[in-house]
Amino acid sequence: MKKRIIDYQKTDTMKCNNTQINALLTAYLDNALTPEESKMVEAHLNDCSDCLDELQEIRTLHLQIEHTPLIDPPTDAERRFRQMLEKQHKPQKQSITITVDFSWKKIAAAIIIFLAGAATVLLFQSKTDSDTSSIAHLENQVSQMRQVLMTALIKNDSPSDRLKAVQYAEQISGPSPEVTNILLETLNHDPSVNVRLAAANALHQFAVHQEVRTKLAQSLQQQSDPMLQIVLIKMLVQFHERSMVPTLQDFSHDEKTHEMVKKEAEEALTVLL
């Protein structure tokens, strides 16, 4: 009876002792070695007939695998996929019918608002260049005012004032690092969940910046509210933020994590490279 090879490393038909070089043979055939490694292997092959034989065996196996056809998936696989795609289209269609279903009063109101808007646009368009520059100046001033208001309001005791402050922050055009910092501070330390949620939402638009994302990922670590955790995960996964991976792993292993958060974290982990 033939002796079975159980310990592959030791009971070997090939007897080359240079295990380091031998281990590179497959990669050598796959052209996956660095130029230095290739040279080393080639030099070795010049005097090692064992490795030369092994190389031939590897090549044979590769060819055999190449000639092994893949199994066909079930014939309805594509149909099932298309059904799934169609389902993804439907919710959007529904939201369109909802907007069409508005009452006549609302439609009338919408028309009036539209006309008013159109009129304003027409008015602005007829202005000269100097006017537009003064409008820009005005906008700038409003923006500055918002920032002043925001920094004042954020310190108030009333959560609704602080909510207002966060909303101001959202509207500031070209926000300063100061604004982002205040928002991050609010996100991490505000006693009200609602204010923290609003801060997270306001920070969404700044998440294109890596520094902000890093801070958001750090913040995720200390948030305990499930809603906030989910919002932050969703936001960060959108930007493929890998620095939150350890936190997500903690969430998925921790028994105290809310079920919804766990699911969100586990799914996010599957798509992060």
Partner 1 sequence: MDWLSDEDIMLEVKQGNIDALSLLFKRHHKHLFNFFLQTGVEYHHSEDLTQQVFYRILKYKDSYREKAGFRKWMFTIARNIMRRHFETRKRHPEQELPAILLNISERQTIDSEEEERIKALYKALEKIPPQDRELISLSRFQGMKYEDIAEITGTTVGAIKVKMHRALKKLRDLYFEKADH
Q: Summarize as ranges the residues that interact with partner 1 (CB under 8 A).
A: 2, 4-5, 8-9, 13, 22-27, 30, 32-33, 57-58, 61-62, 64-66, 68-74, 77-78, 80-82, 84-85, 88-89, 237-240, 266-273
d(CA 179, CA 170): 9
CB 47 within 8 Å of CB 41: no
Residue whose structure tokens are 């906030």: 228
Rounded least distance, CB 74 to partner 1, Å: 5
Alpha-carbon distances, residue 68 vs 41, 59, 64, 71, 255 (angstroms)? 29, 15, 7, 9, 45
Which residue, 33 or 153, has its beta carbon nearer to partner 1? 33
CB 258 within 8 Å of CB 229: yes
Rounded least distance, CB 171 to partner 1, Å: 24
26: helix, strand or coil:
helix
d(CA 54, CA 41): 13
Encoded amino acid at 209, one letter: H
Rounded least distance, CB 35 to partner 1, Å: 14
d(CA 231, CA 222): 14
Dihedral sign computed on CA atoms, order 36, 38, 39, 45:
positive
- How many residues are present in the chain? 273
User: Which long-range contacts does 170-177 make (Cβ < 8 Å, 24+ apart)?
Assistant: 170/201, 170/202, 170/205, 171/143, 171/146, 172/143, 172/146, 172/147, 173/139, 173/143, 174/143, 175/206, 176/147
